[in-house]
Amino acid sequence: MDSTVFWSTDDVLVIGIVPPPSRMEARAQLRQAVREALAQWLKLDSEAISMESTPGAPPRLLFPGGVAGLSFSHDEGISLAAIGLHGPVGIDVMRVQDIPDWFNLARDYLGPHVAEALSACTDAQRPLALAQAWTAREAALKCAGLQLAEWEGAAPACLSHALPLPAPYVATLAY
């Protein structure tokens, strides 16, 4: 399976694939790419790696001698996975696009400070800024094992890193 490494450190790896049209096929291919990437990274047989996925809990990779955090994100034309060897990770990818109801979306899900900052952007700057803020929020929630919810006054504490993706995509890794 052909995958691209978008970011890596000693303990975090982000890979991506160009997914097939079917979401079910994209999920299956990304999961296979994750197993192959982890096997290559840790010099293991990919058959020794399994995935644990329980509804309501972040997925995890199980391998001889360890457990890795795992997060997935999909948008039209790209699927990403983040693997964290020493703890939870979160990843989110989004196509940059104009969203007509951006202010209410930002206020309700990203908080009043982000909504105000987006208001200060020009119309041309706003889609990119919104995508960056949205992926940062989603990645942090995934890292904390939380579902998307309306803003409650604070973001989960984690480190985040904007990933260098080709336009028109924006992605954030949280760890």
Structure confidence by residue, pLDDT tens digits, 86-100: 999 999 999 999 999
Which amino acid does the sequence have at 67? V
**Spatial separation of the C-alpha atoms in residues 81 and 53, rounded to whole Å:** 14
**Residue 62 and residue 53 in contact, taking contact as beta carbons nearer than 8 Å:** no
Q: What is the pTM of this model?
A: 0.93
| Spatial contact of 79 and 16, defined as CB atoms under 8 Å apart | yes
Element (H, E) at 150: none
Q: How many Cβ atoms are within 10 Å of 143's Cβ, its own excluded?
A: 27
pLDDT digits (tens, 9 = 90+) for 125-161: 999 999 999 999 999 999 999 999 999 998 899 999 9
71 strand-pairing partners: 82
